[in-house]
Amino acid sequence: MSSHSIPDSLRRLAPELAEISEQLLFGNIWQRPGLSARDRSLITVATLAAMGRLPQLRWHIGFAQQNGVTRDELSELFTHLAFYAGWPAAASGLDCMEGEPD
């Protein structure tokens, strides 16, 4: 994946972690056969929301949209998530969608 896969803040604050993440995570794990980048984005968004990792969730919502996930699909993801990870996780995920382009 290109260097835009890593948030600028991570690249600034921890350039070595950014490089390792880009090479191993985005260059290897995200490229494995079996799941599309779109599917991996849906899984990642759901996981981050369930864990309450909101700064990373905001970034991955935008990344998911780049990978073809629509706002309607994200909304449905959070609706579904409410029953498995709790209403607060779903509501926080929906809040993170605010400000993301359609």
String of DSSP letters for the chain? --GGGS-HHHHHH-HHHHHHIIIIIITTGGG-TTS-HHHHHHHHHHHHHHHT-HHHHHHHHHHHHHTT--HHHHHHHHHHHHHHH-HHHHHHHHHHHTT---
Encode pLDDT of 27-69 as tens digits.
999 999 999 999 999 999 999 999 999 999 999 999 999 999 9
Structural domains present in the chain = 6-35 (no CATH), 36-102 (1.20.1290.10)
pLDDT class of 101 with cuts at 50, 70, 90: low
